[in-house]
Amino acid sequence: MKSSARGPTPYAYRICGLRVASEIDLPGAIPVAGHGAVPEVSVRLARLPARLDDAAETGPNWSLAGDRLLLHVPRLARYLITGGHSVDVELTPGATVHDASAFVLGTAFGILLHQRGALVLHGAAVARAGSAIALCGRSGAGKSTLAAALCQAGCEFVTDDLCAVEFDAARQPLVEPDGRQLKLWRESMEALDLVARQGAAVRGGFEKYFFEPKAIARDPPRLAAIYVLRESRPPRLDGIEALATPDAMRMLDLEAYRPGLRARLGSMPEILAQGVAMLRHTKVFRLVCPRSFDELDATVARLSQHWEQFAR
């Protein structure tokens, strides 16, 4: 399970506000020139057990023992996430480092942030003038597509998948960037007319590609609002509706990154305290809109107008 003694790790990144030293390339992460200080997170290649023998709890593809969580992605890799400070990866024979890296930046890092007690939503975020909005909603709801459309309309890109919320000295919630690229399905690329700027495939065999927006937020912007995307289907009509505090809290639970694991890894009083600290400054809305790409411009216009109203 231990990684053998090696020389300095070749890759250095800043991910969700953390200094990361990695033995593997993490495409999409924000590279830094090397960390003067000790890294907060290490990503290593290692030999890992098939299961944690002392696991207190197990799920369909994970087992949890104290501060260690072992995650198995079939035909790809096993990931051991420990104490909020390390991710060990063992590739399944035949899998590529590139393919395995997508899960380091996604699920593994989401779990690591939960281990650190951070508030992490599953969503994309964009910003303008130092103020950010997060777009949450279930997989396939159109979070990344809408974020890409907002970036095309002049917003800065902040996060694609992991929306980690930190608090500054004045207890204002800030969103930490998770990378410099959005991941978009081919059909979204086509609808947004971005095919010419399409990057590498996120994972071999999948029609999902990296796309690098023109403008990227440099400093973590303040999180002004969260919009939870819901598809408009009768009787649910298009619109934006503010959620009352108890409903907003419930929504934060549902929209957390891997909510089932979060509840196991975090303490309830801490989860409540963080949610309430955020809601002092961040409004939560339900955004009901069509999934059709044809309506994307209208949704961007509606959202921009709404954001304008309360972000002053």
Partner 1 sequence: MLQPDALLAPSGETYHAVLSDDEAVLMSAEAGRYFGLNAVGIRVWELLVERPRTIADLSAAISDEFDVEASTCQTDVLAFVQSLIDNGVLHEVER
Can you give the binding site for partner 1, defined by CB under 8 A?
244-247, 249-250, 253, 268-269, 272-273, 275-276, 279-280
- Min CB(115)–partner 1 separation in Å: 20
Give CA angle at 60 (57, 65), nearest 5°.
Answer: 25
Indicate the residue among 6 and 250 with the shorter CB distance to partner 1.
Answer: 250
- Min CB(64)–partner 1 separation in Å: 18
Alpha carbon distance 187, 78 (integer Å):
30
Map residue 54 onto helix, strand or coil. Answer: coil
DSSP state string for 136-158:
E-STTSSHHHHHHHHHHTTPEEE
DSSP state string for 198-246:
EEEESSTT-SEEEE--S-B-SSPPEEEEEEEEEE--TTPPSEEEEPPHH
Cβ–Cβ under 8 Å, residues 78 and 70 = yes
Indicate the residue among 86 and 274 with the shorter CB distance to partner 1.
Answer: 274
- Tell me 5's DSSP state: P
Selection from 290, 295, 301, 255 nearest residue 275 by Cα: 255
CA atoms within 13 A on the CB side of 281: 20
H helix or E strand, kind and range, residue 62:
strand 62-65
Indicate the residue among 71 and 243 with the shorter CB distance to partner 1.
Answer: 243
Indicate the residue among 59 and 259 with the shorter CB distance to partner 1.
Answer: 259
Indicate the residue among 117 and 199 with the shorter CB distance to partner 1.
Answer: 117
- Min CB(247)–partner 1 separation in Å: 8
- Min CB(243)–partner 1 separation in Å: 11
- Min CB(130)–partner 1 separation in Å: 24
- Tell me 56's DSSP state: S
Indicate the residue among 150 and 228 with the shorter CB distance to partner 1.
Answer: 228
- Min CB(255)–partner 1 separation in Å: 14
- Min CB(273)–partner 1 separation in Å: 5
Indicate the residue among 233 and 250 with the shorter CB distance to partner 1.
Answer: 250
Alpha carbon distance 251, 19 (integer Å):
30
